[in-house]
């Protein structure tokens, strides 16, 4: 599962962190973008750490290009409001989330709540079968 947005610095990074925390038994979470920021959005880092105890930067998350992704079955775009990055995939979904960068903590927390809810729904909908 790849969470993709243009800069890979905020929403997709939050989704990667929450996917690893809440849905690792259902799917592997990675994130990427078509442009790089020098670091993950520091409000996202601060709020995810305060809410979930996850230090995204200490866990090795960093801004990555889509070219660095392994083969991906499912791509979830965050709601780029511009041309979203193209990644080869079998399935594509857009979550349509507004970028919280530059907004207050309440807006960020609403976005984080939305991502958590969508991650939980996605994990619950995936059925894992043994070969």
Q: Which two tokens stand for residue 75?
A: 């791509």
Q: CB neighbours (10 Å) of residue 99? A: 19
Active site residue 84: yes
* CB burial of residue 49 (10 Å; 0-12, 13-18, 19+): middle
User: How far apart, in whole angstroms, are the C-alpha atoms of residue 17 and residue 102?
Assistant: 20
Which one of the listed residues 80, 112, 115, 119 is annotated catalytic?
A: 80
Which one of the listed residues 10, 54, 75, 84 is annotated catalytic?
A: 84
Which one of the listed residues 2, 5, 66, 78 is annotated catalytic?
A: 5
Active site residue 10: no
Q: Which two tokens stand for residue 106?
A: 């309440």
**Looking at the annotation, which residues are catalytic?**
5, 80, 84
């Amino acid at each position: 599962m790849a969470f993709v947005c243009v800069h890979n610095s905020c929403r997709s990074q939050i989704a990667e962190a929450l996917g690893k925390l809440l849905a690792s038994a259902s799917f592997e979470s990675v994130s990427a973008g078509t442009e790089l920021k020098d670091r993950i959005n520091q409000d996202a880092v601060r709020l995810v750490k305060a809410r979930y105890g996850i230090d995204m930067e200490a866990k090795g998350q960093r801004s990555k290009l889509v070219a660095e992704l392994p083969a991906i079955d499912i791509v979830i775009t965050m709601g780029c409001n511009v041309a979203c990055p193209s990644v080869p995939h079998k399935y594509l979904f857009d979550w349509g989330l507004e970028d919280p960068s530059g907004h207050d903590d309440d807006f960020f927390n609403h976005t984080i709540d939305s991502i958590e809810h969508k991650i939980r729904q996605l994990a619950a909908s995936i059925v894992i079968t043994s070969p």
